[in-house]
Structure 1
Amino acid sequence: MSTRTLIRGGILVTASDTFEADILIAAGKIAQIGMGLIPDDQTEVLDATGCYIIPGGIDPHTHLDMPFGGTVTADDFATGTTAAAFGGTTTIIDFCLTQKSRPLSESLQDWHRKAEGKAVIDYGFHLMIGEMNEQVLEELPQMIEEEGISSFKVFMAYKNQFQADDGILFQTLQKAKEYGALVMVHAENGDVIDLLVKQALAEGHTTPIHHALTRPSMLEGEATGRAARLAALADSQLYVVHVTCAEAAEQIARMREMGHRIWGETCPQYLTLDQSIMDQPDFEGAKYVWSPPLREKGHQEALWNALQSGQLQTIGSDHCSFNFKGQKDLGKDDFSKIPNGGPVIEDRLSILYSEGVAKGRISLNQWVDLCSTRASKLFGLFPQKGTLAVGTDADIVIFDPSITRVISVETHHMNVDYSAFEGMQVQGCPVTVLCRGEYVIRDRQYVGNAGAGKYVKRNKYDAGAPIPPRQPVTAIHGGRN
């Protein structure tokens, strides 16, 4: 393609502004924004009439080529990032799992090998912290300063697999404040869940619905509140991943109202699907086994209210795909052995536009903030990514709000044999996607290259960034069953 591209005729949408303008791209960056820009003979002109021009989506929560439950996720960095690009995402931050007694740097190199030569869009890594000892303490500054990893994840669930105790979480929070990192937490009470699972199996309950029944929302709310209070005690910063329920959203809201640096993410599946879909015959419910699980439908209203009021700040996909046949069926006779996770990465932006903007639940600017800008700020990518401004990476999505499509396994690009949103009609679709000025998707066709995606080193968390004023906690209540 030309080294210069002029996009004109569209409506630019950022987290704060909506306006008509042209965008000139040169050498992978946004070179100029204005009305009536004139191209020269070396500039390709791209007509975006009738479309929104938005910053490329940033998915802060993916699991590609990840081992779990005796198998490995179906999407690797080639198929996963291709599907992400079709969905309007130009940067992902994937989770690097670590192992106890093994240097963090070795696990990180494993994840670099998984991505190099495969990713078609840009990527970064979060780093799991499962223990806190002298070796980990020595490596943490290197991870931040040299490797550009400014976010660490602690699991409060998956007992005897990933789960860390409260002491490790608290130490991680302390070090995060000292070094300038953001601590992420999977907030469920793993000890009680482990007991409930054992009790359910002993009583002969083996079907997928019992995955949800043994992980009640009360335990997510309890763990979220506990983690938030530990963060407050450490005067640190905390990001709660995949919030599913009113109890957890309320805990985040309360702590933010008190001035603590607590942030929350939810996902499209928790906004649109509910627990009843797991109670299907013929093991069909296994397709929808996530952790935390889908909730009763009333929780959806609480989550939408929290997004609208700003008490939840980002949308991740938690993309963790496993095939129904050959992977999910590892738990055919024991729900606790069903690999947890589902395919979401391709439909994140479209579902949020269709269910959020088109239905009047959130504004256009909130949509961009939730799907791109806020994550770029929290995870040290701003202003390089996550906005449209002169000098930023030309990560750009041309999104046509007039297109209606039906989500289906027959048309998606994820490497998995089912769609979690099969048959859902959505309004709006990414039609052209550029990453650093290079086409990845053009007119809804893949034109990218494996390995074109680059690893992005991220800046430290800005602990001085103020928490913006939000609506009262009561704004997120209501709708629970």
Structure 2
Amino acid sequence: MRTLIRGGRVVTAGDDYTADVLIEGERITQLGANLLVPADRVIDATDRYVLPGGVDTHTHLASPSAGTVTCDDFFTGTVAAAFGGTTTIVDFATQFAGVPFADAVATWEANRTGKAVIDVGFHLAVTDLEGGGGVDALAAMVDAGVPSWKLFMAYKGAIMVDDDTLLRVMQTAADAGALVLVHAEHGDAIDVLTRQALAAGRTGPDQHAATRPPEAEAEATNRAINLARIAGCDLFVVHVSCGEALASIRRAREAGWRVWAETCPQYLFCDESQLSLPDFEGAKYTFSPPPRHVSNQPLLWRALADGALDQLTTDHCPFRWADQKAMGRDDFSKIPNGAPGIEQRLMLAHHFGVREGRISLQRMVDVLSTTPARLFGLAPRKGSIAVGADADVVVFDPAREHTISAATHHSAVDYNLYEGMTVVGAPETVLVRGTPVIEQGRLTVGPGHGRFVPRAPFRAGTTHVAEGAVA
């Protein structure tokens, strides 16, 4: 099957030009102006952007947590991703106590098989090093195509690891060619503050932020950075939410230390005041780290522009408000932590980032596609419009208006953090390995189109300098 995308504005992290894109089978085979080639399918991209498919390296689909399971499985979650212009995700396979590492990944692969409509890779979330098989079994995960391992420095008594485990996993990663990711919050401090709040009768969602202050995130971020330095390990800090944590990352990078980081849309658009909304509406904003004071938002936007933050991912971890979030109606510590957003990432970045002058169009592509693919072992197949790459392509209408709403989104969650926002710019056609999965607002493939994508060992050869940043 030959597909020709004709006359679009091709935008990558490094280029911006008008061209035709020829796809043969699953790969891009030619780029050029006015290609005179026969094609089985022609897509008119006049006045459209032609973007590499989004790569979201932080999602939680069909994931057990807090006595329940995230409400998007690998079908509904990847359908929502596709409608939002994301063609590859890397989800977290959580290894619970006593479960071998390979079995944890196998469980997530079984959940994915026959359901995903886009391509999927996995991180391994390590919670029990010895129960998983020890450092040798962990190192073997690199050869299994899972070269990134996450450690939680919070959630004491559940999935939090101690510093002994943190350091040993980091040392193993340094030797094995893996990248360590950390959820950086001081779990012991949060545990003390939570118990004190509940003892004093403070049980509402507003206490979620009060018991997880920015200092707890900053301390854990700084500790993880220094332990990674001791171990000789490359480090990736997930969901950075505040200026205090960002300052530690900037210092490390200015010193030339191998530290990367992301933020998420919820930290750019939500703030701590929303936790105090009446009638338990604040529970919708219980994600960790919590939403911060609004003054942090311009700091995070600036860091995305200047390269101090490398990626904009979603941390899509959806729980229904009506029944799942309601588990903590009388005790904020029992509200399942997580927020939806897998479908809105590109539209929000384009409207509020590019159109409002915070980041360039090329920088948007970089933080949504190119750098995630490069850092997480998916390049050169994913993350760019280039000859030989997978034909993961988004034809994007930069003039189309779209109002975000739970009534029209494709996730199984019953609310939307960005309800009522009108954005300009939305995906029109989305291809995964050359096959249209979204056309004119319709899903055009069935469950199981997506594949598991094994990823290459981590290699540090990327730069901290942001190309195309807007001052």
Q: TM-score range by the shorter chain?
A: over 0.9
**Residue 322 of structure 1 contacts residue 328 of structure 1 at CA under 8 Å; is this kept in 2?**
yes
Aligned twin of 2:3:
5
Q: 1:143 aligns with which of 136, 141, 144?
A: 141
Aligned twin of 1:441:
438
Once the two structures are superposed, residues 44-97 of structure 1 have per-residue CA deviations (whole angstroms, 9 ceiling, x without a partner) of 111011110010000000000011111111100000000000000000000001
TM-score with structure 1 length normalisation?
A: 0.95
**Residue 104 of structure 1 contacts residue 136 of structure 1 at CA under 8 Å; is this kept in 2?**
no
Separation in 1 of the partners of 2:281 and 2:466?
40
Separation in 2 of the partners of 1:235 and 1:343?
35
Separation in 1 of the partners of 2:319 and 2:231?
37
* 1:321 and 2:314 correspond: no
Q: State the Cα distance separating 1:440 from its structure 2 match.
A: 0.6
* 1:51 and 2:74 correspond: no
Identity rate, percent: 50
Aligned twin of 1:408:
405
Aligned twin of 2:447:
450
Once the two structures are superposed, residues 379-405 of structure 1 have per-residue CA deviations (whole angstroms, 9 ceiling, x without a partner) of 000001000110100000011110111
Q: State the Cα distance separating 1:173 from its structure 2 match.
A: 1.1
Going from structure 1 to structure 2, the CA distance change for 1:20 and 1:272 (only over 3 Å counts) comes to same
Q: 1:68 aligns with which of 33, 41, 65?
A: 65
* 1:347 and 2:344 correspond: yes
Once the two structures are superposed, residues 144-195 of structure 1 have per-residue CA deviations (whole angstroms, 9 ceiling, x without a partner) of 11x2001000000000111001111111111111010000000000000000
CA RMSD of aligned residues (A): 1.4
Q: State the Cα distance separating 1:470 from its structure 2 match.
A: 6.8
Q: Helix, strand or coil for the counterpart of 1:413?
A: coil
Q: Which amino acid aligns with 1:171?
A: R
Separation in 1 of the partners of 2:152 and 2:133?
20
Separation in 2 of the partners of 1:404 and 1:366?
22
Aligned twin of 1:94:
91
Q: State the Cα distance separating 1:467 from its structure 2 match.
A: 3.5
Q: Which amino acid aligns with 1:116?
A: T
Going from structure 1 to structure 2, the CA distance change for 1:327 and 1:7 (only over 3 Å counts) comes to same
Q: 2:425 aligns with which of 413, 417, 428?
A: 428
Q: Helix, strand or coil for the counterpart of 1:352?
A: helix
Going from structure 1 to structure 2, the CA distance change for 1:176 and 1:276 (only over 3 Å counts) comes to same
Aligned twin of 2:393:
396
Separation in 2 of the partners of 1:412 and 1:469?
35
Q: Helix, strand or coil for the counterpart of 1:349?
A: helix
Aligned twin of 2:369:
372
**Residue 228 of structure 1 contacts residue 238 of structure 1 at CA under 8 Å; is this kept in 2?**
yes
Q: How many residues in Structure 1 have an aligned counterpart in Structure 2? A: 468
Aligned twin of 1:185:
182
Query: What pairs with 1:10-25 in structure 2 (closer than 5 Å)?
Result: 10-25=8-23
Q: Helix, strand or coil for the counterpart of 1:9?
A: strand
**Residue 207 of structure 1 contacts residue 335 of structure 1 at CA under 8 Å; is this kept in 2?**
yes
Separation in 2 of the partners of 1:386 and 1:11?
16
Q: State the Cα distance separating 1:264 from its structure 2 match.
A: 0.6
Q: State the Cα distance separating 1:427 from its structure 2 match.
A: 1.6
Once the two structures are superposed, residues 425-449 of structure 1 have per-residue CA deviations (whole angstroms, 9 ceiling, x without a partner) of 1121011000000011011211122
Query: What pairs with 1:260-409 in structure 2 (closer than 5 Å)?
Result: 260-409=257-406
Q: State the Cα distance separating 1:142 from its structure 2 match.
A: 2.2
Separation in 1 of the partners of 2:125 and 2:105?
10
Separation in 2 of the partners of 1:272 and 1:366?
19
Q: Which amino acid aligns with 1:95?
A: F
Aligned twin of 2:458:
461
TM-score with structure 2 length normalisation?
A: 0.97
Q: State the Cα distance separating 1:107 from its structure 2 match.
A: 1.1
Once the two structures are superposed, residues 187-244 of structure 1 have per-residue CA deviations (whole angstroms, 9 ceiling, x without a partner) of 0000000000000001110110110111001110111011011111112100000000
**Residue 259 of structure 1 contacts residue 467 of structure 1 at CA under 8 Å; is this kept in 2?**
no
Separation in 1 of the partners of 2:246 and 2:48?
34
Separation in 2 of the partners of 1:266 and 1:53?
25
